Amino acid sequence: MIKIENVHKSFDENHVLRGVNLDIKKGEVMVIVGVSGCGKSVLLKHIIGLMTPDEGRVIVNGTEISSLPRKALYKARQNFGMLFQSAALFDSMTVYENVSLSLTEHTNLSEAEKVEIVKDKLELVGLSGTEEIYPAALSGGMRKRVGLARAICMEPAVVLYDEPTTGLDPIIADTINDLMVRLQKRLSITSVVVTHDMRSAFFVADRIAMLSEGSIRFVGTSEEMEAEDDPIVREFLSHR
Ligand SMILES: Nc1ncnc2c1ncn2[C@@H]1O[C@H](COP(=O)(O)OP(=O)(O)OP(=O)(O)O)[C@@H](O)[C@H]1O
Ligand SMILES: [Mg+2]
Domain ranges of the chain: 28-50+77-237
Give the Å distance between the CA of 16 and the centre of ligand 2.
12
pLDDT category at 67 given cuts 50, 70, 90 is: confident
Strand partners of residue 184: none
Its sign, for the CA torsion 44, 47, 50, 53, is positive
Tell me the pLDDT tens digit for each residue of 191-230. Answer: 999 998 899 999 999 999 999 999 999 999 999 999 999 9
Superfamily name with CATH number, domain 28-50+77-237: P-loop containing nucleotide triphosphate hydrolases (3.40.50.300)
Nearest bound ligand to the CA of residue 162: 2
Is residue 177 within 8 A of residue 200, CB to CB? The reply is yes
Distance 229 CA to ligand 1 centre (A): 28
User: Using a 6 Å cutoff on CB, does residue 22 contact ligand 1?
Assistant: no
Residue 116 CA to ligand 1 center (angstroms) comes to 39
44 Cβ closer than 6 Å to some ligand 1 atom: no
Residue 233 host element (H or E)? helix 231-237
CA distance 14 to 171: 38
If residue 201 lies in a helix (H) or strand (E), which one and from where to where?
A: helix 198-204
Residue 70's pLDDT band (boundaries 50, 70, 90)?
confident
58 C-alpha to ligand 1 centroid (Å): 19
Instruction: Give, for ligand 1, the residue of 41, 44, 161, 212 to mutate: max count of ligand atoms closer than 8 Å to Cβ.
Output: 41
41 in contact with ligand 1, CB cutoff 6 A: yes
pLDDT tens sequence across 119-178 = 999 998 889 999 999 999 998 888 989 998 999 998 898 999 999 988 788 888 898 899
pLDDT: is 34 or 67 the higher one?
A: 34
Closest-CA residue, ligand 1 atom 3, reads 11
Condensed to tens digits (0 to 9), the pLDDT of residues 36-62 reads: 999 999 999 999 888 999 999 999 988
Residues 161/191, Cβ–Cβ less than 8 Å? yes
Cα(167) to centroid of ligand 1, in Å?
19
CB 7 within 8 A of CB 19: yes
Q: Which residue, by CA, sits nearest to atom 1 of ligand 1?
A: 11
Report the separation in Å between the CA atom of 41 and the middle of ligand 1, taken as the mean of its atom positions: 6
Residue nearest ligand 1's atom 20 by CA: 37
Nearest CA to ligand 1 atom 4: 11
For the whole model, what pTM was predicted? 0.90
Give the pLDDT of residue 7.
97
Which residue has the least CA distance to atom 2 on ligand 1? Answer: 11
